[in-house]
A and B are shown apart, each in its own frame.
Chain A
Amino acid sequence: MSLDWYGAWQALTHHPLFGAGITLGAYQLSIAAYERTRWMFLQPVLVSMVIVIGVLLLCGLNYAEYKVSAEALTLFLGPATVALAVPLFLNLRRIRQLFLPTVLTLLVGGVVATVLGVSLAWWFGADSIMLMSMAPKSVTSPIAMLVASQIGGIAALAAVFVMMTGVIGAMLGPSLLRLCGVRHHAAVGMALGMTAHAVGTARAMQESEECGAFAALAMSLMGMLTAVLLPLAIIFLV
């Protein structure tokens, strides 16, 4: 009796849950790797991405096919974005005393971070689709991905740039700030949260409670401001 190995393999890799399955597996592997090593470069999203791409290439599947079979997961991205309102609200209540410095820094610093990134990349000769994908680099990835696709960039590229920014920010940020004499915990937290989003916030939480709270606040406010203002700004500029 000969078994239809090829048929079974085809049925397995083309099953509508195959994409969701390998994503779940890759994610758990990368979480385990991160928890074991605590090494900053092993960002779970980045590592899972590499594993999933490897599996897809081995199985001879393309992205379009994977996208359809991972839909069970991506469907929840919308409600998860909505859910970001909850931590934002909780943080808003926590820091009433420093409201004005926070808002001013956020507006000016946010514009500086975004404009600087885009104009430097433009100056270095990057393509316009690259520029639009890196414009929202300083905010948390669900927002950055939504915004990037809204303004004519590529969501996947935005995710990569966001991750890079976060990792570099968390690595260099604290020592840079110390070097420049920024010692107030709220200021360090703000700077890390608004430029390096979730990764920066995680780093800020290691510094102190206050530092972490401001980072979380800065991250969510920066995300919201970018989501609302960046598409508007692009419409007026282009």
Chain B
Amino acid sequence: MLLRGLSWLVLCQLLGTGLNVLLLPMLPGPIIGMLLLLLFLLVHGEVSEPLSLASSNLLKYLPLLLVPPAVGVMAYADAIAADFWAVIGALVLSLVLSVVFAGWMMQKLIERQQRRRGDL
């Protein structure tokens, strides 16, 4: 079960890598693979048991898989130190503004939709 789902995921990733080289050099292979799988799910209409098993198991360990790339920071310590405060400032400020903006916009749009439905 698990292996069958995993095979599907690997297949999508490999197809994505192929398409990346052939047609879409600007999109990473795994992302194309994700879009392929989403397309397949939309057409198919449901998530099969092996696929849901494999994906939930793999996603459970996603943080672990991200540790090795994150360790790469040690190779760029100097670059980070040079721009540290600029980046932190930009991160915090843009985050505060965009959280509020997104929440406010969504709330306004929901209220508008509800009012319209009320009119009808």
Contact = CB atoms under 8 A, between A and B. Distances in A.
A213 interface: no
B2 interface: no
A112 B74 contact: no
By size class, the interface of chain B is 35 or more
B73 A157 contact: yes
B34 A224 contact: yes
Given A134-B90, A138-B98, A145 B103 contact: no
B64 A73 contact: yes
A86 interface: yes
Contact of A74 (B34, B65, B90): B65
Given A66-B71, A67-B68, A194-B102, A120 B31 contact: no
B96 interface: yes
B97 A63 contact: no
B87 interface: yes
Contact of B55 (A83, A156, A235): A83
Interface residues of A, number: 106
A73 B67 contact: yes
Interface string A110-141: 00110011101101111101100010011001
Nearest to B111: A184
B71 A109 contact: no
A100 B58 CA distance: 31
Interface of B: 6, 9-10, 12-13, 16, 26-31, 33-38, 41-42, 47, 51-52, 54-56, 58-59, 61-76, 79-80, 82-83, 85-107, 109-113
Contacts of B76: 154, 156-157
A83 B9 contact: yes
Nearest to B38: A85
Contact of A227 (B31, B65, B92, B106): B31
A80 interface: yes
The 5 closest A-B pairs by CB, nearest first: A156-B72, A191-B103, A101-B109, A124-B86, A121-B90
Interface in A25-51: 26-27, 44-46, 48-49
